[in-house]
Chain A
Amino acid sequence: MSAGNSQGITRRRFLKQAAALTVGFTLAPLARGFAQSPSPLPGSLQKNRMLDGWLRINPNGTVTAFTGKVEIGQGIVTALAQIVGDELEVDLARIEMVSGDTSRTPDEGVTSGSRSIEESGSALRFACAEARGILLETAAAKLGAPASSLRVEDGVILAPGGARATYWELTTQAMLKREATAKAKPKPASQHRYIGKSVPRRDIPAKVTGGAAYVHDMRLPGMVFGRVIRPPSPRARLVSVDERAARALPGVVAVVRDGSFLAVAAKREEQAIAAARALRRGAKWQQTASLPPSGRKLFDHLRSQPAQDSVVSEKNDKAAAAVKTLQATFTRPFQAHAAIGPSCALAQWQNGKLHVFSHTQGVFPLRGELAKALKMPAADITVTHREGSGCYGHNGADDVALDAALCARATGGRPVKLQWMRDDEFRWEPYGSAMLIDLRAGLDAQGNVVDFQNELWSHTHSTRPGESDGTNLLAAWYLKDPQRPGSARNIPQPAGGGDRNAIPLYVFPRQRVVNHFLPEMPVRVSALRTLGAYANVFAIESFMDELAAAAGLDPIEFRLRHLSDPRAKAVIDAVASKAGWRPKQSGDGRRGRGIGFAKYKNLAAYVAVIAEVDVDRATGIIKVPRAFAVADAGLIINPDGLINQIEGGVIQSTSWTLREAISYDSTQMLTSSWADYPILHMTEVPSVEVSLIDRPEERPVGAGESAQGPTAAAIANAVANATGRRIRELPFTAESVKAAQT
């Protein structure tokens, strides 16, 4: 990323940014007639309607673009700069991107759901197109030439006779202080200079040279180090704590106790860690068994829990009677985000005001939640985004921000950098929800699916800050005056939560999809990349292969037969041809291939994956040597960035699918280190060949979450293809592979 948010945070820069906070800007119109609903605007312009909230053209020949979305390793800030460069017709080097800062940027909620290109990208696209139009009109008056006769080269406006003016001299503060109309038409694909090109990511140079790239790398004057001492289990309460040993240790600045929340601050990081250990030894807790059954018993438990049932899709078209009926049950355990770097935040209190630096996915939602937790006005809190370690959904980023803020209340104005330890992350991050999926389908005499039923059971898939009636920050639940987590809610269709991608894209005449939403949440859960889509696609696409086999058809032919969407068919055709798919080719007992397909959320990127597996039936070990993926994400902003996201999605999903499950007993989370939660490493990951289908005429959509479901299904289908035995329980551990063979 360029300047703005994730470059080095030197003291000078910090002060400079703090000073910049006083510069006036507007994010909402000052006044608007009441009872008049605003006209719809594209993407995040709808809620952030002022042009100067998005864009500033500076007299010094630079452009500052503001986005409420944040870099989480997906390359979004580079992609947004490409959009700004093209629509405004300025060189990328002139563009400074400022992202995720409650005092400077638009409020775009959370960076999640692969929506940033649609929301922030569309807003910037139209805002920049409109700004360019305004500048051209201004230049037309000055140069005495019609605006339509002018052209722009890197911010220089040229008239046919050779007269010229630049953005930098024409621009005034007032020029963009107006509400967007979205009437200026963005450029067609044929005029793009940056969009569609693999522009190198702005954030990578600092990351490969030891630059200050992360919140973890920030250092402020007088800063001390914090650590938190979490309870031994979710329902534990602190009975007493002997602080003497910790306080006697060198460097200890503060011991913070508020109810069952315990933290420590020290001058040096290793001193904070030592003090946290001493405090842990001195703490007495009362524990309560509160966790559900684990292993297979979990799924009987899910089925037995009180549920809020909703029919999310129902169709009763005329069709032949079924001559053959299949049913199967699929499961997915609790799984972790498991970023390599534990969550970290920096907090500083000054004159009753709080400034937090965080790798949160949503600076505004976090600010609101901190205000609730700390019982103070949101206006007195600034949240500034800095990058963190990999973000695959709602992890500990928000929680650690409150930990740091609570800890920093006791350090007399000195900033506190607080990082979780590895076990804090594994035991306390909100996991991806476990799921149970019952599928049932009927085939007619011609091998067509005439009936399809999906019933799924799952907890919520989103308990983010800013979403509910409670306080969705971990420490808030353990304070002396404890706050409640928000009530669980399902994200409604069409995006869906647990039921994301539960409705097949296939055309089935009779169909019923029921979501049994479980509002109780004995294990803390929230958004993990794809939410329910990973398990739903795994289940539906596994079942499609079972149905194809029952119909005596090749899995690809069977899918194509049931699809009407040409873009869906195109990715499947393309991946089949790329992988050299041979119809009805069966595995040899050891090696096999399988396909999986989905249109993410049924409204975003189309991805088809073919995976090859090698199954050692004696040891139960599955290897995935190679995978092919084809993606259609509409208009492609940055092809290499898109490929990187798909590759990463395939590899991460392979790891989820083969390895990953959180373990716990009746009281405690048991997963606390990489030894308990092995992920695929360098010698185990598949090679991934990605192809893209560019659709310049279609809206651009994100793709960070589009490959995970199809990959799981492709592996499952390949294992069945190789061995003739199907595994329907995630993950495919050696034990489950061996059990399936008998």
Chain B
Amino acid sequence: MAVTLTVNGRRRTVAAAPETPLLYILRNDLELNAAKFGCGMAQCGACTVLVDGKAVRSCVTPALAVVDTKITTLEGLGSASNLHALQKAFIDEQAAQCGYCIAGMLMSAKALLDEVPRPTETEIRQALAGNLCRCGTHNRIVRAIQRAAKEMSP
């Protein structure tokens, strides 16, 4: 059994059952660390990735449902040596404590900014309401997204 996906612009074929949740293929076959297992029930947002630009929960998305789509993970936005404006803003605002939720936060933020380049604070909070944070870093995350939005569309 094999499934072919387009992840971060590359076609990747992996030996996995087609109903495998996308999250495990990303983490274990493609060795992409960013998306995290949090609940397995689409309740927390830690596994958020973009599918054709929309934020989806990869823990409940079977691979076969996304074979003909463009999948973007946090690794697809930028890297440590070539940071995306959102990643840079999260570092500038020190918008993490444990950071386990942060990849999901960043992907929800990316989906939002692609649609609404200069969102209001309320729009940011609403767009990220499905991403849980337990350390209490919420307000820094909002500030980081505002900073990135300013940077990306001055």
Name which of A269, A387, A675 has the most chain B CB atoms within 10 A of its CB.
A269
Flag if A682 contacts B128 (CB, 8 Å). yes
Residue of A nearest to B19 (CB): A270
Chain B residues closer than 8 Å to A679, beta-carbon distance: 132, 134
Q: Which of A208, A269, A651 is in CB contact (< 8 Å) with B87?
A: A208
Q: Which of B74, B98, B134, B135 is in CB contact (< 8 Å) with A387?
A: B98
Flag if B94 contacts A674 (CB, 8 Å). no
Chain B residues closer than 8 Å to A340, beta-carbon distance: 36, 38, 44, 46, 98, 100-101, 132-134
Q: Which of A198, A207, A645, A652 is in CB contact (< 8 Å) with B99?
A: A207
Flag if A341 contacts B36 (CB, 8 Å). yes
Please report which residues of chain B, range 2-51, place their CB below 8 angstroms from some CB of chain A when the two chains form the complex: 16-17, 20-21, 24, 27-28, 31-34, 36-41, 43-44, 46
Flag if A213 contacts B133 (CB, 8 Å). no
Residue of B nearest to A8 (CB): B33
Flag if A214 contacts B100 (CB, 8 Å). yes
* Distance, CA A217 to CA B38, complexed state (A): 13
* Distance, CA A75 to CA B106, complexed state (A): 20
Chain B residues closer than 8 Å to A75, beta-carbon distance: 97
Render A584-595 as a binary contact track against B, CB cut-off 8 A, 1 for contact. Answer: 000000000000
The answer to whether A352 has its CB under 8 Å from any CB of chain B is no
The answer to whether A121 has its CB under 8 Å from any CB of chain B is no
* Distance, CA A270 to CA B122, complexed state (A): 37
The answer to whether B118 has its CB under 8 Å from any CB of chain A is no
Name which of A203, A339, A390, A679 has the most chain B CB atoms within 10 A of its CB.
A390
The answer to whether A681 has its CB under 8 Å from any CB of chain B is yes
Q: Distance (Å) between the CB of A198 and the closest chain B CB? A: 8
The answer to whether B70 has its CB under 8 Å from any CB of chain A is no
The answer to whether A640 has its CB under 8 Å from any CB of chain B is yes
Chain B residues closer than 8 Å to A687, beta-carbon distance: 139
* Distance, CA A419 to CA B100, complexed state (A): 14
Flag if A73 contacts B132 (CB, 8 Å). no
Check A644/B94 contact, CB under 8 A, given A209-B80, A340-B134, A390-B100: yes
Please report which residues of chain A, range 656-699, place their CB below 8 angstroms from some CB of chain B when the two chains form the complex: 673-675, 679, 681-683, 685, 687-688
The answer to whether B125 has its CB under 8 Å from any CB of chain A is yes
Please report which residues of chain B, range 126-152, place their CB below 8 angstroms from some CB of chain A when the two chains form the complex: 126, 128-142
Flag if B94 contacts A73 (CB, 8 Å). no
The answer to whether A3 has its CB under 8 Å from any CB of chain B is no
Q: Distance (Å) between the CB of B26 and the closest chain A CB? A: 10
Flag if A648 contacts B97 (CB, 8 Å). yes
Flag if B102 contacts A270 (CB, 8 Å). no
Flag if B126 contacts A210 (CB, 8 Å). no
The answer to whether A204 has its CB under 8 Å from any CB of chain B is yes
* Distance, CA A210 to CA B33, complexed state (A): 5
Chain B residues closer than 8 Å to A212, beta-carbon distance: 33
Flag if B102 contacts A208 (CB, 8 Å). yes
Q: Distance (Å) between the CB of B112 and the closest chain A CB? A: 12
Flag if B78 contacts A209 (CB, 8 Å). yes
Chain A residues closer than 8 Å to B106, beta-carbon distance: 208
Residue of B nearest to A73 (CB): B98
Please report which residues of chain B, range 45-96, place their CB below 8 angstroms from some CB of chain A when the two chains form the complex: 46, 73-75, 78-80, 83, 87, 90-91, 94, 96
Residue of A nearest to B137 (CB): A648
Chain B residues closer than 8 Å to A207, beta-carbon distance: 96, 99, 102-103
Q: Distance (Å) between the CB of B72 and the closest chain A CB? A: 12
Flag if A204 contacts B41 (CB, 8 Å). no
Q: Which of B36, B37, B96, B124 is in CB contact (< 8 Å) with A201?
A: B96
Q: Distance (Å) between the CB of A449 and the closest chain B CB? A: 33
Q: Which of A268, A391, A644 is in CB contact (< 8 Å) with B140?
A: A644
Q: Which of B16, B80, B138 is in CB contact (< 8 Å) with A651?
A: B138
Please report which residues of chain A, range 536-568, place their CB below 8 angstroms from some CB of chain B when the two chains form the complex: none
Check A652/B33 contact, CB under 8 A, given A208-B102, A340-B44: no
Name which of B83, B94, B124, B130 has the most chain A CB atoms within 10 A of its CB.
B94
Q: Which of B40, B97, B99, B129 is in CB contact (< 8 Å) with A682?
A: B129
Flag if A268 contacts B24 (CB, 8 Å). yes
Residue of B nearest to A203 (CB): B99
* Distance, CA A422 to CA B103, complexed state (A): 19
Flag if A339 contacts B24 (CB, 8 Å). no
Flag if A208 contacts B38 (CB, 8 Å). no
Chain A residues closer than 8 Å to B134, beta-carbon distance: 338-340, 389-390, 392, 652, 679
Flag if A649 contacts B136 (CB, 8 Å). yes
The answer to whether A206 has its CB under 8 Å from any CB of chain B is yes
Chain A residues closer than 8 Å to B46, beta-carbon distance: 340-341
* Distance, CA A56 to CA B48, complexed state (A): 42
Flag if A209 contacts B94 (CB, 8 Å). no
Name which of A72, A387, A419, A682 has the most chain B CB atoms within 10 A of its CB.
A682
Flag if B39 contacts A647 (CB, 8 Å). no
Render A186-207 as a binary contact track against B, CB cut-off 8 A, 1 for contact. Answer: 0000000000001011011111
Q: Distance (Å) between the CB of B90 and the closest chain A CB? A: 5
Chain B residues closer than 8 Å to A644, beta-carbon distance: 94, 97, 137, 140
Q: Which of B75, B100, B128, B142 is in CB contact (< 8 Å) with A209?
A: B75
* Distance, CA A681 to CA B138, complexed state (A): 8
The answer to whether A421 has its CB under 8 Å from any CB of chain B is yes
Chain B residues closer than 8 Å to A648, beta-carbon distance: 97, 135-137
Flag if A422 contacts B96 (CB, 8 Å). no
Check A685/B136 contact, CB under 8 A, given A212-B33, A342-B37: yes
* Distance, CA A683 to CA B46, complexed state (A): 17
Chain A residues closer than 8 Å to B24, beta-carbon distance: 268-270
The answer to whether A211 has its CB under 8 Å from any CB of chain B is yes
Chain A residues closer than 8 Å to B128, beta-carbon distance: 681-682
Flag if A640 contacts B94 (CB, 8 Å). yes
Flag if B43 contacts A673 (CB, 8 Å). yes
Please report which residues of chain B, range 97-123, place their CB below 8 angstroms from some CB of chain A when the two chains form the complex: 97-103, 106, 122
Chain B residues closer than 8 Å to A681, beta-carbon distance: 128-133, 138
* Distance, CA A209 to CA B74, complexed state (A): 6
Q: Distance (Å) between the CB of B82 and the closest chain A CB? A: 9
Chain A residues closer than 8 Å to B40, beta-carbon distance: 273, 421-422
Flag if B91 contacts A200 (CB, 8 Å). yes
The answer to whether A74 has its CB under 8 Å from any CB of chain B is yes
Residue of A nearest to B26 (CB): A210
Q: Distance (Å) between the CB of A623 and the closest chain B CB? A: 13
Check A650/B136 contact, CB under 8 A, given A209-B83, A419-B37, A682-B142: yes
Q: Distance (Å) between the CB of B104 and the closest chain A CB? A: 9
Flag if B94 contacts A201 (CB, 8 Å). yes
Residue of B nearest to A209 (CB): B80
Chain A residues closer than 8 Å to B124, beta-carbon distance: 682
Q: Distance (Å) between the CB of B121 and the closest chain A CB? A: 10
Residue of A nearest to B90 (CB): A208
A sample of 19 inter-chain contacts (CB < 8 A) reads A73-B97, A73-B98, A208-B99, A209-B75, A210-B103, A211-B33, A219-B31, A389-B36, A389-B38, A389-B100, A392-B134, A651-B138, A652-B135, A673-B43, A674-B39, A674-B41, A681-B128, A683-B126, A688-B139
Given A200-B91, A389-B100, A688-B139; 13 other pairs, CB 8 A cutoff: A72-B98, A73-B97, A213-B33, A339-B98, A341-B38, A342-B37, A422-B41, A640-B94, A644-B97, A644-B137, A682-B138, A683-B126, A687-B139
**Which 10 A-B pairs rank lowest in CB-CB distance, beginning with the nearest?**
A651-B136, A73-B98, A648-B136, A210-B34, A207-B99, A389-B100, A390-B98, A73-B97, A674-B43, A210-B75
Interface residues of A, Cβ cutoff 8 Å to B: 72-75, 198, 200-201, 203-214, 216-217, 219, 225, 250, 268-270, 273, 338-342, 387-392, 419, 421-422, 640-641, 644-645, 647-652, 655, 673-675, 679, 681-683, 685, 687-688
